[in-house]
Amino acid sequence: MKNLFVASLLFLFAASGTALAGNAEAGKTKSAACAGCHGADGNSPVPNFPKLAGQNEAYIVKQIKDFKANSTRKNEIMFGMAAALTDEDAKDIGAYFQAQSVAQAATFDASKIAAGREIYKGGNLQTGVPACQACHGPAGGGVAGIGYPQLGGQHVDYILAQLKAFKDGSRSNDNKMLMRSIVKKLSDNDMTAVANYIASLK
């Protein structure tokens, strides 16, 4: 049953569209202000700032809207950056970053990868944790059509910070509490292992 569930979700992943609503060329210009933290091509050199390269447009658009609303996802820097952006700007910026290629994370703990892979690929039946790949794809590519984010190659520090934020409720912009319901079942060791495995994905 578990394998059937995962297979069904992976089919959804494979079948989802990746059509862009925004203009990537316009987004390249509009994203200039993002480069200081996220890198000109979206490959942030700082582990606390997320890589946006290869991230799907739908996810980026949602995050910009959520930062702008300053309720379910709060960050003073991003609130200021998003305040002046229109919906069209968000789509254009999202389209630009989706068109870029994400680089593998520079650092991760290889000793954590096996444990992280087990959770990412198969979940944990005993604790009720579903496989991460069901929503984020076997290689961490996400599902562009419905806005499930790309994770592969993301910085360990950033992934771990977001998992902790979902767990303590300081981040609550997940649809139908999906991430919060999952992360509350993960131990600190589980989260660290998963973050390192995700960073190792290419």
What is the phi/psi pair of residue 73, to 5°? -140, 110
pLDDT tier at 114, thresholds 50, 70, 90: very high
Provide the b/e sequence for 67-80 (b: ≥16 CB within 10 Å).
bbeeeebbeeebee
Q: What is the pLDDT of residue 18?
A: 55
Q: What is the pLDDT of residue 8?
A: 42
DSSP structure string for 115-138: HHHHHHHH-BTTTTBPPTHHHH-T
Cα atoms in the Cβ-side hemisphere of radius 13 Å centred on 174: 18
Please compute the mean of the pLDDT values over residues 169-182 and round it to a whole number: 97
Burial environment of residue 107 by CB neighbours within 10 A (0 to 12, 13 to 18, 19 or more) = exposed
Q: What is the pLDDT of residue 36?
A: 97
Residues 55/114, Cβ–Cβ less than 8 Å: no
pLDDT in tens, 43-88: 999 999 999 999 999 999 999 999 999 999 999 999 999 999 999 9
Q: What is the pLDDT of residue 71?
A: 97
Residues 169/120, Cβ–Cβ less than 8 Å: no
> Both tokens of residue 100?
């870029």
Q: What is the pTM of this model?
A: 0.90
2-15+105-200 classified as CATH 1.10.760.10: yes
Please compute the mean of the pLDDT values over residues 89-98 and round it to a whole number: 98
Q: What is the pLDDT of residue 145?
A: 86
pLDDT in tens, 124-153: 999 999 999 999 999 999 999 899 999 999
DSSP structure string for 48-83: TS---TT--HHHHHHHHHHHHHTSSB--HHHHHHHT
pLDDT in tens, 3-14: 434 444 444 444
pLDDT in tens, 27-44: 999 999 999 999 999 999
The maximal CA–CA distance of the chain, rounded, in angstroms, is 49
CA 41 from centre of chain:
16
Secondary structure (3-state) at 201: coil
Q: What is the domain class of 24-98 according to CATH?
A: mainly alpha
Q: What is the pLDDT of residue 14?
A: 41
Mean of all residue pLDDT scores within the chain: 92
Write the single-letter amino acid at 44: S
Q: Where in the chain is the domain with CATH 1.10.760.10?
A: 2-15+105-200, 24-98
